[in-house]
Every structure is written in structure tokens, then in C-alpha cells.
Amino acid sequence: MTRPSTPVLTPDPTNRDSAFLKTMRGEAAPHTPVWFMRQAGRYMPEYRALRAGRSMLECIRTPELAAEITLQPIKAMPMDAAILFNDILTPLPVMGLDLDFVGGVGPQISNRIETPFDVDRLGVPAAAEVMPYTAESIKLVRQELDPRGVPLIGFVGAPFTLASYAIEGKGSRNYERTKRFMYGEPAAWHRLMDKFETILADYLAEQVKAGAQAVQIFDSWVGALSIYDYVTFVKPATGRLIERTKKLGVPVIYFGTSTHHLLPQMSSLGSDVMGIDWRTPLNDAWKLIQPGQGVQGNLDPLLLQGPWRELKHQTDRILAEVDGRPGHIFNVGHGLLPETPVDMVRRLVDYVHEQTAK
Ligand code: CP3
């Protein structure tokens, strides 16, 4: 597989001194920055109103809509970063997989990958040509974010997590089809990882060129693998993706769930920050990752459904585990849930800011 060289871009100086970007660089910040995975979503009435009668993909592919949804949580609360409204599955249709987001069910792919031939029929088109709306959305969002001092995060899914959807055809509990393919067709599996690496590196380069000031790579489901399988089947292509992304000149967060056992391997790929799910205490996580890496996390999103007493207690517990060291970005340990009361989210953002103000 040919790998076009990734352009080296000049770092964007805008909002360089924001708490979020300082922390991403491992520098001391005036307070602990806070943002939440899925901070734009169904828990917000503004989101539900805008989504009414419109499909997920329509919103993603219409820059004015994607920009508006991205800004909804920023307008409602003092978040320290915005994340572009998009989905990790957006590259699948442009590669030839028929994706639909089915309400109440989740993503569905009608022509999932079943054979090595199916891998070879996947296209790897240039992101700028087939997903131009993403760069447009980023440019629109930046116009609104820059005067507010809020930096923008771009993102992609990681090769394993995307392969799991491409092969299962939907979300999964045990990734049985994915593992069967990985073990049974190792050559085709590696070709699939390479194809994802190529399109994802290109897509992230497009996002950074358009104005994303940091990026997160979501490897949400990689925790289903043993250490051996991660190293053998996933680490090489993911490592190349992270290496190429780092050359873009913006800081990189690498996130997964149920990854306690994988943290030494995942962190060795050299992202600036490791996203930690709610299962691992942050002081333990810090011992498992590389020296100098930051951590992002890691409140159980269910705690935002209350009571405040327990939410406050566990927020204090997390901040105590961090114990004032630089390089902590406060976040949930997995995305916000649709049942989350907006008031609890706002109260939490304010509380972390107050407790960590220097
Ligand atoms: O964080 C943000 O606010 C940015 C937006 C964002 C979405 N998806 C919007 C979305 C991000 C960062 C994602 C990433 C994503 N998408 C992941 C990785 C994070 C994680 O949760 O592990 C994954 C696995 C997906 C795939 C996906 N997209 C699933 C499984 C679903 C259905 C489940 C669900 O929550 O509905 C989606 C749909 C989706 N992506 C929604 C949103 C707001 C809900 C769609 C709706 O409004 O009905």
C-alpha cells in the first residue's frame, strides 16, 4: 500500500495559551481544562430540536448544521474545548460500505466485510475530495470559537475500532466476527488496517489543515483484545497513524475503553495524552503510560445522573488522584449518555474549574 507523505504544517498560534492547549503540551495551566466526549448530543434539548427530521449523516455532511451542533455545548457551558460534530464512522461510506444510523439501534452496515475480497474492494479516496464538508465545518466553527478563546478538537476512529464496525456490520459485544477474520485471514486483516491507516491519516491532515488544533483518536473497543493480539494485529498500523498524526504539529490524544491491560502498549505509540476510561484510577494509569504523557479522564458518565453528592465525591476523588500534576484534562471515562441532565454537566464544569483554579 503506498503511503503519501504527511505534510508538516506550521502550528496554529490561535488560543495557544488556553488551558486546554497548555495542558495538552504538559504545561501548567490556570485551571484544569474540561470537555466531554459526546458533549454535543441527545442530552441537550437544542440538539434534539436541530436533529428532529434530519438524519445523522445529513447533519455531518451539512457544514452549517455540523458547526451549529458543535457550538451548542460551548454556548451553554464554559467548556475548555469544542469537538467537531462528526462520527468515527463517516469514512466508511466513502470507502464503499453502506452505513446507516438507525434510530434506537445504532449504526448498521448492509454490505459488511466478510471475505478478503471485500477488503480489496474498499476504496481509499482522498479525504479532501470525498469528505469536503468536514473542512468546511471546521472553518465555520473556528470563526465562532476563536473570539471565545476555545480551541477545536478534530478526531477519527482508530483502525481496530473502525474494522470492528466494518466486519460486524453493527456494534458488538464480543467482536466474534472481527476476531475470526483477524485470526483466519491475517494477510487481509493487515491490508484492512493499512487501508484505514491511509485514509485516517489523510482525514486528520485535512482536519488540521482546516483548523483543528488538537486531535483525538478513538479506539473505543480495542480493550476487547489481549495484549498479544493488540501487539500482533493492531499496534503496527495504529502506531504509524499516530506517528503521522504527530507530524501535523498538533497534540494527539489516544483513547480506548477497558484498556487497563493495554496501557503500556498503547502509550508506547507516543500520543501526547492518553484517554483513560472510568475503570482505572488516574494515579495507576500514570504509572502504566510513558513518562511525560498527559492523561484525560475519567469520570463514569453515569455519575452525571446524580445524586450531586456522589458526583462531587467522585470528582474530588479523581482530582485527588491527579494531585495537582500538570497534564490532566478532565473528561468522562466514556461519552455522555442521552439521559444526562444538562444542569449536572454545567455544575460539574463549574466545580472542576473552581476546585482547580490557581
Ligand atoms: O463528542 C462529541 O460531541 C462529538 C461527536 C461524536 C459523535 N460520535 C456523535 C454521535 C463523537 C466523538 C462520536 C464518536 C463515536 N461514534 C464513537 C467513539 C466514542 C465512543 O462512544 O466510544 C463511536 C463508537 C461511534 C459510533 C456510533 N455513533 C454509535 C455506536 C452510535 C449509536 C449509539 C448512540 O449513542 O446513539 C453513533 C451515533 C452518534 N454519534 C450519535 C451522536 C451524537 C447519536 C445519534 C443520535 O442523535 O441519535
Exactly one of 43, 47, 118, 165 is catalytic; name it: 165
User: For residue 5, what pLDDT is reported?
Assistant: 58
Query: What pLDDT is attached to residue 4?
Result: 55
**Distance (Å, rounded) from C-alpha 47 to C-alpha 76?**
12
d(CA 160, CA 235): 9
Longest dimension (CA), the chain: 58
* 87 part of the active site: yes
- Ligand 1 center to 199 CA (angstroms): 20
| pLDDT tens digits, 147-180 | 999 999 999 999 999 999 999 999 999 999 999 9
3-state SS class at 248: coil
Q: Which of 291, 306, 303, 149 is nearest to 213 (CA)?
A: 149
For the chain, how are helix, strand and coil distributed in percent, rounded to 5?
Answer: 50, 10, 35
In this model, does residue 2 exceed pLDDT 70? no
What is the Cα–Cα distance from 162 to 88, expressed in whole angstroms? 7
Those residues whose C-beta lies under 8 Å from the C-beta of residue 330, and which sit 6 or more positions away, are: 32, 33, 34, 296, 297, 299, 318, 352, 356
110 is in an annotated binding site: no
pLDDT in tens, 76-109: 999 999 999 999 999 999 999 999 999 889 999 9
What average pLDDT is seen over the chain?
96
Q: How far is CA 67 from the centre of its chain?
A: 17
| pLDDT tens-place string over residues 245-274 | 999 999 999 999 999 999 999 999 999 999
Q: Residue 221's closest CA among 106, 56, 315, 110?
A: 106
Q: Note the helical H segments in 125-217.
A: 127-130, 132-148, 159-168, 176-184, 186-210
Cell (9 digits) for 340: 444526562
Convert the pLDDT of each residue in 112-138 to its tens digit. 999 999 999 999 999 999 999 999 999
The ligand 1 atom at the shortest distance from the C-alpha of residue 171 is 30
334 appears as a binding residue in the annotation: yes
